[in-house]
Structure 1
Amino acid sequence: MKLSKKQAVFESEVITRFELFNSLFMTLPFYQVKHTGILLPFFTTHCERGVTEKLDPETIIESFFDQNDQYVRESDRIDLLFRIIQYIERQVVLFDAVEDAAFKKTGRSDEAGLLDAVLRQTANNTELRNKLLAKLNDFSLRLVLTAHPTQFYPGPVLSIITDLTEALKKNDINNIHLLLHQLGKTPFMMKSKPTPVDEAVSLAWFLENVFYPVASAIQSKIDDEFDIPADENKQLVELGFWPGGDRDGNPNVTVESTKRVAVLLRTILFRCYYRDFRILKRRITFKGVEKYMDILQELFYENSFNPPDSPADEKPVIIHNLQEIKRVLVEYHDGLFVELVDDLLRKVRTFGCFFATLDIRQDSRIIRQAHAYLRTCFEEKLAIPADFDQLDEEAKQRALRFDEHDLSCSEDAPPLVVDTLGVIRLIKSIQRWGGERAAQRFIISNCQQASDILELMELFLWSGWQTPALHIDFVPLFETVDDLHRAADVMKALYTHPHYKKHLQQRGNKQTIMLGFSDSTKDGGYLMANWSIYKAKIELTAIAREYDVDLVFFDGRGGPPARGGGKTQRFYASMGKEIANDHIQLTIQGQTISSQYGSLDTAQYNIEQLLHAGLTSHIEQKDGDTLSADQKQLMAYMAEVSHEQFLALRHDPLFLKYLERFSPLKFLSQINISSRPVKRNSDSELRLEDLRAISFVTSWSQLKQNIPGFYGVGSALRHAEETGKWEQVKQLYETSGMFKTVIDNCMMSMSKSNFDLTSYIQHDEVFGGFWKKMRDEYERTKQYVLKLSGQKVLMENYPVERESIAMREKIVLPLLIIQHYAIRQLQKGALKEKESEVFSKLVTRTIYGVVNAGRNLA
């Protein structure tokens, strides 16, 4: 088959170069076992053949050893498997670096998605240009980095990837050789679980090395295009941060760790400022600027290297002195080097003294517990009914008084109560150190009723905060299917509540609502999750417009399609007139952080894609993106059919047993990648509702079955065809960007599935039928999405991404065979304790490479 132009470029710039440098890498003598680099290609081919023949993992691995016994002694076999894992981990890094180095040649597959394109589009159209400028004044993009346990590369490896990518861009063979050698000798594993502060340090690498320059560069592009002075611009790109603030289900996040992360972010930012200031100081050596330069020199240096225990928000001082320097340059020195001052001014206006807004998140049940504790301790002072917990929702809302107090809990209070009340007080300090934006949002997960928000608001007022100075946005998180259905009623109750209404007016009538995909997918399946969130957005927008509220949707997306990720920019571009889309806010999680925002090129491209999506959905909205009543009915119908199929699978008694038996689910808690437990209520036995969605999705992705990303879609499409609705479905696919994106992301999930890998399970007496049911739905979904899209193969319309996925799947196939082999050995139960430890370690080691290669698998 003739390659398309894009495929040909990818073949030459990525595949060929990877194979070239991989052959060099394979000859480097890293490990004690001889012939590892030589045997790996043969082992990979052997695994591919075995999977094609549907052999079980024991047969594949043991037959390989039998065929190569002249190279591998029986006593060295397990050791060789570990060495193969180490090689493949580094092959994945090499492929990442080669692909990132070629990004400008292969990555811009959709030129219309770049910010430059929309600027060119409006250049000669005054009306459109004015419309765009007006939109820019109201629009913002916030990317929130989250501490999810799939960011596997430690800091040193990230640095190697960065340097290797640059060396590959320049074809610097000598440096590439040295970096490959360094890569081979650099550990990938952490000896102990990271703390929340460790996670913050890891993600702060991206803030410092990527987002700091890229956000400023994009802002500069907009400012230059519209002749906006650097000290008068409207910030376009904002950053949020969850490590150290997200305490939902993570007992390791404490008031102390939150404080340390806030200080860390501030200190790292000032070091970025100090580096820029040193460049500025080398150039601006003229008369008239000395006193301003001296003030900035001391301010930047002290806050970088001797940060005070209780710092102040220095942003006004910094901006004043930079503006004075700029004034002197313009008035007396012909504006020489004024662009350096503008660059730093732009960064200070963007990042202030905080770098990224530290979000606080806690479960509503903990909020209720803290509220109940203070009610009990200060019953007479608070004058809230003793039977408050037994009241219905309306009575609860009436009973809350919103009086101001300064209450403290005793030392013997429950730890989570102490933490909740402590972090409420800490937020005030963080705002004093870095300004209001340093920590201005409290997210309430598992939000089920308006009183969940109102009780938290009252906790602030009981903790020394005063109503006029309550600079906090209370953000409900609706995630399960049931919560999404109730969301509009909850918000209507808040918008009409006198105290909350007054608070919202103080916050500029702007309300942020977080919608999470992870638990809704686990709860209702892929299609129902997507439709429930889309439908909730329509309903929430209608309520907000009714009460004149500026609505901001904060989406829990940015990872795999099963957790709301995939082609996120296309999703935002397809928001119709019924959905508020003036602001885009989303989480960036897991290995998606390094894959989409790990380098300057990829970060700028992906940020501009999202900006383009938000801007164009306003200035050239497509009629098909606003669904008609019939289309909504069709979507609801298909979502319900899909939901029924998913629930039938989920309620099967074998569902969780299958995941525990064949996937590495129980091993996720043993890998040192996250401070967060694999499941909530970690001391209890495993229940699906307690299992974190990220663990749920990761387990399916390791099985290469990706059930959360497609299951039920095929049945829904088939049912639509059988009931005479197929032409309506085709018309929906052709006109609705939202539905097309849902199907495209489904195809992406399926492209990363391989049921041949686990085909041996079909012969299992207990689980064989269960496996066949999932495989049949996969084949059914594949048949119908191809028929609907008119494609011959999955992701045919995205050839570069399809080739990239195929190559990555090929690289990690041996890891999956080793993983399944080790799991099956452990299940036999006849191993000695030391042998069991070895096979358990084999399982955990394979998880890293598989997820890193997938880039948005978990």
Structure 2
Amino acid sequence: MRGRSVRRNPAVRAEPRGIGTARARDPLAREVKLLGALLGQVIVEQEGPELLELVERIRRRTIALRRADDPVDRARLAADLDGLDAEGAETVIRAFALYFQLANLAEERHRVRTLRRRERAARGGALDGSVAEAVLRLGASAVPGADPVAIIGRLAITPVLTAHPTEARRRTLLVALRRCRRLLERLDDLRLTPDEDRDVRRRLREEITILWRTAGLRSVVPSPLDEVRAALVFFDETLFTVVPRLYRALDAALDRLAGETTRRDRRGGRGAMPDPPAGDTGRTGARPPRVPAFLRWGSWIGGDRDGNPSVTAEVTAQTLRICSDHVLRGYEAVCARLMQTISATVPPERLAGSLARQLARDEEELPETMRMLRRRFPEEPYRRRLGAMVERLRRTRAQLTETRAPLAGRYPSADRFRAELRELAEALTEDGLGRVAWGEVADLRWQAETFGFHLASLEVRQHAAVHEATLAALREPDAKLAADLPVAPFVSAGEVLATFRAMAEVQRRFGEDACRRYIVSFTRGAGDVAAVLELAQRAGEPVPEAAATAGFAPATPVVDVVPLLETADALTAAGTILGDMLGDPAYRAHLARRGDRQEVMLGYSDSNKESGFLAASWMLYRAQEALVAVARRQGVEVTLFHGRGGATGRGGGPARRAILAQAPGSIDGRLKLTEQGEVIAARYGDPVIARRHLEQMTGAVLLASSPEHEATIAAAAASGAALMDELAQRSRDAYRALVWEEPDFAAFFRDVTPIAEISALRLGSRSAARQDAVGVAADAHGQPPPIEALRAIPWVFAWSQSRLSLPGWYGLGSALESFRTEHGEAGLDDLARLYRTWPFFESLLDNAELVLARSDLGVARAYAALAGGPDAPRLWERIEREHRSTVALLLRVTGRGALLDGQPALQRSIALRNPYVDSLSELQVRLLRRLRTLPVEDPERERLLRLVQLTVNGVAAGLQGTG
């Protein structure tokens, strides 16, 4: 079958002619055509021309059906799909799935290309959404308190990486696609020669061949430490180097603002914001940077044990060792590079005092290293100093990550390393080498401030009920015996205590910031927060000892307790819960010791699943208002931690727009939000895209923190709050009437989505359902978990597979329809005005519009036909009616003629992708029907399940999203 020639084979599409993509009129189309042609060649070589001809025939027929639903074409497509045996189905699925992976790569590359083109076109001006634009807008404002320097001084932005099990692609595939991306980048080089172009194409064929022969499904469930290592790829390859570039861009923006202010003053006052001149108008790099390191990274990977017993105390400790190893190696590499770079010769009599003292300390503590460095660099003291720092970092890494005894010459803490970098910069400045001090050395200082010796602050999360059960067990007369008993599935009271002891251990080793936040999921009241502090104290007691605590000495960690409000009841009572916490004298004393700073997390996913997206969004907004008000009255600084998902049905959407839509006073220079597992690769896989994402977040936080913006959104919210109260209630009623009150809906959901098959996928270390609920995640032959036990992530993922994406829009149409019935067309006109003036309402409807544009009733109807209950037709009719009503009324309020008319590029991308996704969806429906008719004991089930799961990966790639 394999190794066939592709010459003169009519099934293989021709490669684009010419060299590279730099001069192409449409580089995206050219790149997609090239990758498609190369994939076709690989398929013929590996599987034969018949398969490629079949794939092309299916593709052409689904495209034709999109143009006109012809019964003859549909019958021919059905014949092609029904005629596939298991082997043929698998190869067809893999062909479409790999095509989507390559097309997604090309689109990502084109986004980078477009960003660079826009930056060039700006000619030194401010790119829309950049930090420069934000700084210049603030600088042009006449409103008191809009000083960008002051706002920058209080910035604190914390993205938190999570490992939610929705990244359907294997790490192996992600790494291979990164290699393809680097090859494609070479095609953008104008200097590319014909030989180099041929070499890139040859290497791409190799990589695509490897991708074709690589299994698309994981054979084993990844462990939590596997997930840790997968996430660290993005730190190593992107974030470590992108972070100082962000700071540098903001520093340059302040220079640009200074130039604009001078010109305005010369003209006699503040006018409209002028266009900045082309070129570098500032002095960044020729003076000390003025931007503090305001980014801090957090991570739940290796710390989130809510429903995941695989995350143990030992895993948490090991996670910090792995993270520390990565960041210290990063510092070593930078210091080694600077040692090669800063070759300045300095006579002994001109040696700066601080540098002389550092070198003397190096001679005393690292005699062997310094003897070698003196031989190599006798007249180059900066090289000797940096060489000593490399050795100190190496010893620090050995001591911290290999649990060795303390080594002489190591850094006792990250503070000591940062102090040495500051002293190095001072010595360089004193020596007339300011540009060196304020260039790469400044970048390293920014990195050291941002990442410390722990890279990312590991956050622990556990369910409130587990803490309650643990305390009850420890209060038993025989607490030692109780400590070994389970307080949740696969979790003992001793393991809960061990978690706190592990936190104390990593704080001692890596610093307090390495792991100090403890998130209490499903917080119901202030007692759930107090329970965590009591458990932390008990962890410091020598008894009771349990098997799980054996590896950790008794110790009480520093703990910042973060209540997670994620149910409708908790969000509605947010102000009361925070008020009760602050009213507890013991807790208030604890908070005073922590600087009177309180963090509260808001859960978007579960609240959305419980109440529907519109009602949940408004509950979250109201909760923000209440929390800010209580904190101000109590004199506490509150940071709101937004637990947003990647999909709109879990609070996802464009980050910049979401930040600008938050409640007044809820930002104030501080932003903390989750970066969910399924979007990490998309946002941080490419350095250019990563920097753009971080710039958009930072710029939005700057603007959202200005008094002018807060006044504007406060006025809009005041005029729209009563309308939103009404819409939210109507929407919640409609959503709950379907999802929670319709007796046959759970069975309908199981029938019309591949939820059972998704639950059996080995996507992550955590199960699809909460294991303390009735009915855990399904196995390959069982029933899927009930809706109440199902996590929000697979809930949204399953609906996206059936092309309906119900959690992202259901209830909106009913709310708008009943609102119109009561208030008439004038009421819809009021909503249209609200859409134009209130960022929150605009963001809400725009997110729903995107979900609706990606849904497809025609394809979803085929999934609905899988439902066998007598009420299935009625439920489908209800959903279809709601969908049509939602689209019509949303367009009425937004004033657009069709979905995504305001985003034509995205509209076109979805239209072009849909026929290809249709092929996999049609095949998935057929496979599901066959799978569900087989007896549980039939051995064919395993093969069919695998095929369904392959289509799940393919559809996710085609839709560019999971859950």
Please, what TM-score do these two structures have when normalized by structure 2? 0.80
Q: Aligned runs of 1:150-549 on 2, under 5 Å?
A: 150-171=166-187, 172=197, 174-186=199-211, 187=214, 188-226=216-254, 234-286=292-344, 287-289=380-382, 292-304=385-397, 307-309=401-403, 314-332=413-431, 334-335=433-434, 337-338=436-437, 339-377=439-477, 410-412=483-485, 414=487, 415-464=491-540, 471-549=558-636
The answer (yes or no) to whether the contact 1:818–1:842 under 8 Å persists in 2 is no
| 1:94 paired residue number | 102
Q: What's the secondary structure of 2:520's corresponding residue?
A: strand
The answer (yes or no) to whether the contact 1:812–1:853 under 8 Å persists in 2 is yes
Distance in 2, Cα, partners of 1:554 & 1:435: 22
Distance in 1, Cα, partners of 2:382 & 2:164: 46
| 1:391 paired residue number | none
The answer (yes or no) to whether the contact 1:231–1:346 under 8 Å persists in 2 is no
| 1:400 paired residue number | none
Distance in 1, Cα, partners of 2:746 & 2:164: 22
Letter in 1 for 2:312: T
Cα distance, 1:590 vs structure 2 = 3.1
Cα distance, 1:11 vs structure 2 = 9.4
Q: 1:179 to 1:689 in 2, by over 3 A?
A: same
| 2:80 paired residue number | 64
Q: Deviations over 1:491-531 (max 9, x none)?
A: 10011111111111122211111001111111001110101
Q: 1:501 to 1:492 in 2, by over 3 A?
A: same
| 2:50 paired residue number | 35
Give me the identity figure in percent: 25
Which deviates more, 596-605 or 370-379? 370-379
Q: 1:793 to 1:233 in 2, by over 3 A?
A: same
Cα distance, 1:673 vs structure 2 = 1.5
The answer (yes or no) to whether the contact 2:339–2:387 under 8 Å persists in 1 is no
Cα distance, 1:48 vs structure 2 = 4.6
Distance in 1, Cα, partners of 2:950 & 2:450: 40
Distance in 2, Cα, partners of 1:355 & 1:714: 45
Cα distance, 1:61 vs structure 2 = 5.5
Q: What's the secondary structure of 1:210's corresponding residue?
A: helix
Which deviates more, 152-161 or 838-847? 152-161
- Say if 2:683 is the partner of 1:625: no
Distance in 1, Cα, partners of 2:165 & 2:788: 19
Distance in 1, Cα, partners of 2:130 & 2:24: 20
Q: 1:474 to 1:622 in 2, by over 3 A?
A: closer
Cα distance, 1:805 vs structure 2 = 3.1
Q: Which residue, out of 895, 906, 910, partners 1:801?
A: 906
Letter in 1 for 2:890: V
The answer (yes or no) to whether the contact 2:314–2:502 under 8 Å persists in 1 is no
| 2:12 paired residue number | none
Q: What's the secondary structure of 2:641's corresponding residue?
A: strand
Unaligned runs of at least 5 residues, structure 2: 1-22, 119-125, 188-196, 255-283, 345-379, 543-554, 776-784
The answer (yes or no) to whether the contact 1:246–1:361 under 8 Å persists in 2 is yes
Q: What's the secondary structure of 1:337's corresponding residue?
A: helix
| 1:592 paired residue number | 679
| 1:775 paired residue number | 880
- Say if 2:845 is the partner of 1:787: no
Letter in 2 for 1:102: H
Q: 1:629 to 1:335 in 2, by over 3 A?
A: closer
| 2:376 paired residue number | none
Cα distance, 1:173 vs structure 2 = 5.3
Q: Deviations over 1:362-419 (max 9, x none)?
A: 000001111112222488xxxxxxxxxxxxxxxxxxxxxxxxxxx9974456533222
Distance in 1, Cα, partners of 2:588 & 2:73: 61
Please, what TM-score do these two structures have when normalized by structure 1? 0.89
Q: 1:293 to 1:740 in 2, by over 3 A?
A: same
Which deviates more, 410-419 or 228-237? 228-237
Q: Deviations over 1:519-578 (max 9, x none)?
A: 111100111010110111111111111111111111111401110011231121123435
- Say if 2:713 is the partner of 1:646: no
Letter in 2 for 1:12: D
Letter in 1 for 2:886: T
Distance in 2, Cα, partners of 1:526 & 1:30: 48
Aligned length, in residue pairs: 814
Cα distance, 1:177 vs structure 2 = 4.0
Q: What's the secondary structure of 2:35's corresponding residue?
A: helix
**Superposition CA RMSD, Å:** 3.0
Q: Which residue, out of 813, 821, 841, partners 1:739?
A: 841
- Say if 2:704 is the partner of 1:679: no
Distance in 1, Cα, partners of 2:664 & 2:930: 56
Cα distance, 1:675 vs structure 2 = 0.6
- Say if 2:747 is the partner of 1:657: yes
| 1:24 paired residue number | 38
Q: Which residue, out of 698, 705, 720, partners 2:819?
A: 720
The answer (yes or no) to whether the contact 1:544–1:550 under 8 Å persists in 2 is yes
Larger Rg: 2
The answer (yes or no) to whether the contact 2:461–2:518 under 8 Å persists in 1 is yes
Cα distance, 1:44 vs structure 2 = 2.0
Q: Deviations over 1:753-784 (max 9, x none)?
A: 11101324666654122112111111110001
Distance in 2, Cα, partners of 1:513 & 1:59: 56
Q: Which residue, out of 111, 119, 126, partners 2:135?
A: 119
Cα distance, 1:78 vs structure 2 = 2.3
Q: Which has the higher contact order (CA 8 A, sep 6+)?
A: 1
Distance in 1, Cα, partners of 2:607 & 2:171: 33
Distance in 1, Cα, partners of 2:561 & 2:534: 11
Which deviates more, 450-459 or 25-34? 25-34
| 1:704 paired residue number | 803
Which deviates more, 32-41 or 425-434? 32-41
The answer (yes or no) to whether the contact 1:283–1:337 under 8 Å persists in 2 is no
Q: Aligned runs of 1:750-761 on 2, under 5 Å?
A: 750-760=852-862
Q: 1:134 to 1:240 in 2, by over 3 A?
A: same
| 1:551 paired residue number | 638
Distance in 2, Cα, partners of 1:241 & 1:616: 26
| 2:851 paired residue number | 749
Q: 1:838 to 1:280 in 2, by over 3 A?
A: same
Distance in 2, Cα, partners of 1:538 & 1:65: 54
Q: Which residue, out of 948, 952, 960, partners 1:843?
A: 948
Letter in 1 for 2:616: A
Cα distance, 1:125 vs structure 2 = 7.1
Distance in 2, Cα, partners of 1:746 & 1:130: 33
Unaligned runs of at least 5 residues, structure 1: 1-8, 67-73, 380-406
Q: Which residue, out of 717, 724, 727, partners 1:635?
A: 724
Letter in 2 for 1:451: G
Q: Deviations over 1:411-463 (max 9, x none)?
A: 45653322211110111111122211111100000000100000111111122
Distance in 2, Cα, partners of 1:195 & 1:91: 29
